[in-house]
Amino acid sequence: MAKLFYRLQRFLRRTQFVFLFLAAAYLMAGSVVLLQRSGFALQTGSRGTSSFLPVPSLGTVTKGALLDTGMVGSGNKLDSQALVSRLDGPVNGEVLGRRNGPRWLMSRNLEIRQLRRRWFHSLMTEQEPRVERKVVKRKVKHKGTYVGCFLDDSKERALKGTVFYDFRKMTSSLCQDTCSESGYLFAGLEYGAECYCGNRIAAPKTREEDCNLDCKGEKGSMCGGVGRLSVFKVEDLHPGARKYRNVHYRGCFRRPKNSTAAFRVHAIQLNLTSESCIELCSDKELPLAVLRRPECYCGYTSTHFTLHEKADEQRCGGVTNASDVTGDVTTRLTGDEGYVMVYQTPVKGEPSVGRWAPRASLHVKKRPECYCGYTSTHFTLHEKADEQRCGGVTNASDVTGDVTTRLAGDEGYVMVYQTPVKDTRCTERTFLPEKSQMLVGLSSFPGAGNTWVRHLIELATGYYTGSYYFDGTLYNKGFKGEKDYWKSGRTICVKTHESGKREIEMYDSAILLIRNPYNSLMAEFNRKCAGHLGYASEQHWKSKEWPDFVSSYSSWWASHVLDWMKFGRRLLVIHYEELKRELFPRLREIVDFLNVTASDEHLLCVESNQDGNFKRTGAKLRHFDPFTVEMKSLIDGYIKTVDDALRNSNFSGLPGEYVPR
């Protein structure tokens, strides 16, 4: 029996060596066949060592074909001596000498990689190939005018206007349409998924072949490259419309004491209009146009000019609404219904028949109505009213453009307009340079505004936020940390909706975001029915799903807050409503909690970009309350419980607008 086991053991040992020998022989034979098919013959040297001899047809290929990508990318001419220095190998059929050390291994690997590539793609020829650059031919025609390929640096952007991302559906047309709608002249695409807008190209041109990446949503369409921007001059979507459409009136503010320090551009124009001031600031790629005729200022929000204290509109002449600009932005004025503004036209002569005279000497206006005619017993112009009755116009004798270009207002106040230009001082983001040892959570109930707060945190800190989940929609829109492992330590904080002792204790600290449960429930129901940016339809609200949703989710809203207060190690409680009202001080609290340094001007930039890309659009049901009396009674009870728990734990209670409802 012992002899049998001994023979079996010897047989297994021999079998291992046989298998090892066969595997090595198979690999060697395969390598020889590969080299022979590539045009090389394997010969034996004088000492038994193998040497590669290029066949005559490949004697010249060694000079042109065996180049690494770095040498080809340089665009420089290479002679035979350069190739010898680069490859340490034969030229024109010379036999390779001894090669010792890593350089020989690297050269050999380079040759084998190149030979495999050439054999696989059947690119062997008997003629000497020409090393030349070929611009990739694109099959997709662009709607705008292609300008060229430009360098782009994260610290100094080629186009300094609006930026947006779409890592799934970005196309050249989408980028150009977005930039055109915002009033920009140029659109640039980078990395196949990033779109930049601007009115000036502040970077040098580079080689066309560097812009070699396809758009994520359109194969064959050029979308820049790595650090390279494909720039187009956009076509105006509405040729007959005003040049700058997305202009918003920010309000009337006190003029800063030091205008030179507060603003970067200052211009004086006797016939200045709001539109010309906005156009000037947009061309200078500055987000704020500040007007006090005849002076126009352009700049950013800063510690000298924060836009935190809005003044009465009458201080600036009675402008009440200029968000929908048509012609001059001061077209809507306050005024009593029973009063009209009267202008003397250049026309002189006898009265014509009819109320609407084709040639009349008086122009009488009360928006949206306009009357033309003469003085008469019905309209004598003998009793002049206070100018404030018509909206505060004090002097319109020297009319340029719209006759309401000069408005009443105190000398120390200015009108402020938001141009289409985006404040890009705080838009650059990256992953943490070093892995963080602290895991910080951003916890909230679904629908509490977690995505919006992540947007604010990324802008305020300059670092990406992570997520316990993976939402492809958020990743495609620029939340790059969404795809990162939530425990990687590369993100500033991690989004979570989880509750429970084990899930909470995984975090060293957390920001607990709380929102009014009524609004949270509606927001989450909208997301479930219509996605991140849509609204649920009336049929959804009237379905049986809505009462069941409220019954289960309202208790979750309360338990989520209570669990984090009970098991959380270090908490910062942020109320969504207070963050909306007092963004700047609440952002300062968040940044300090995350132990990140941010200047006041940086946070003011965040304040200017607070909306982000995730505001809901579409048809919102107005004056619609989907909550029944029973639902309100249930939710109000949970609100009372959470409010008491917060106060007992030395936190501020829930905002007063939560109840009653």
Residue 376's contacts (CB-CB under 8 Å, 6 or more residues apart) are 351
Whether pLDDT at 405 is above 70: no
Comparing 37-51, 186-200, 566-580, 607-621, the range with the smallest average pLDDT is 37-51
Nearest to 427 by CA among 97, 57, 139, 163: 163
Please give the full DSSP string across 161-213, using - where no structure is assigned.
Answer: S-EEE-TTT--HHHHHHHHHHTT-SEEEEETTTEEEEESS--S-B--GGG---
For the record, the structure tokens of 435 come out as 């892995």
**Alpha-carbon span 658 to 514, nearest angstrom:** 11
Which among 55, 48, 40, 47 is positioned nearest to 108, based on CA atoms? 40
What distance in Å separates the CA atoms of residue 636 and residue 430, rounded to the nearest whole number? Answer: 42
Structure-model confidence comparison of residues 411 and 366, the more confident one: 411
- Cβ(574)–Cβ(511) under 8 Å? yes
C-alpha to C-alpha distance for 587 and 603, rounded to whole angstroms:
7
pLDDT, residue 102, reads 40
Beta strands in 345-490 (DSSP E): 362-366, 369-373, 413-418, 440-444, 466-467
Cis ω before 660 (30° cut-off from 0): yes
pLDDT at 301: 93
Cα–Cα distance between 403 and 137 in angstroms, integer?
54
pLDDT at residue number 303: 92
Is 90 exceeded by the pLDDT of residue 356? no
Most confident of 63-72, 131-140, 153-162: 153-162
Q: What is the pLDDT of residue 93?
A: 41
Please give the DSSP secondary-structure letter assigned to residue 89. Answer: -
- Is there a cis peptide before residue 129, judged by omega within 30 degrees of 0? no
Q: Which of 55-69, 77-91, 172-186, 331-345 has the highest mean pLDDT?
A: 172-186
Residue 48 makes CB contacts below 8 A (sequence gap 6+) with none
Q: How far apart are CA 597 and CA 599, in angstroms?
A: 7
| pLDDT confidence tier of residue 232, bands split at 50, 70 and 90 | very high
Residue 528: both structure tokens together: 């479930």
Pairwise CA distance, residues 227 & 176, whole Å:
19
> Would the pLDDT of 332 be above 70?
no
pLDDT reported for residue 582:
93
Instruction: Tell me the three-class secondary structure of 265-277, residue by residue.
Output: EEEECCCCCHHHH
Please give the pLDDT value at position 282: 84
Tokens of 80: 């035979």
Across the strands, what pairs with 148?
231
Give which of 228, 248, 245 is closest to 179, Cα–Cα. Answer: 245
Separation between Cα atoms, residue 372 and residue 365, nearest integer Å: 9
Residues 6+ apart with CB under 8 A from 618: 530, 533, 534, 535
Distances (CA, A) of 143 to 202, 234, 244, 512: 23, 8, 21, 47
Backbone angles phi, psi at 480, to 5 degrees: -65, -25
d(CA 506, CA 578): 28
- Assess contact for 305 and 434: CB atoms under 8 A: no
87 neighbors 97 (Cβ within 8 angstroms)? no
Say if residue 456's pLDDT is above 90.
yes
Is 629 exposed, middle or buried (CB count within 10 Å of its CB: 0-12, 13-18, 19+)? exposed
Q: In which element (H, E) is residue 221 found?
A: strand 218-222
Burial label, 56 (beta-carbon count in 10 A; 0-12, 13-18, 19+)? exposed
**Which pair of structure tokens corresponds to residue 120?**
């696989």
Residue-averaged pLDDT of the chain: 75
Helix or strand run (H / E) with residue 114: helix 102-120
CA–CA dist 294, 442 (Å, integer): 49
Indicate the SS3 state at residue 40.
Answer: strand
C-alpha dihedral sign at 630, 632, 635, 641? negative
The whole-number average pLDDT for the span 461-476 is 90
Q: What is the pLDDT of residues 114-139, one digit of tens each?
A: 544 444 444 333 333 443 444 444 44
- Region 556-575 average pLDDT: 94
The CA distances from residue 660 to 560, 637, 656, in Å, are 22, 11, 8
Query: Are 266 and 587 spatial neighbours (Cβ–Cβ below 8 Å)?
Result: no
Q: Which of 524, 595, 295 is nearest to 415 (CA)?
A: 295
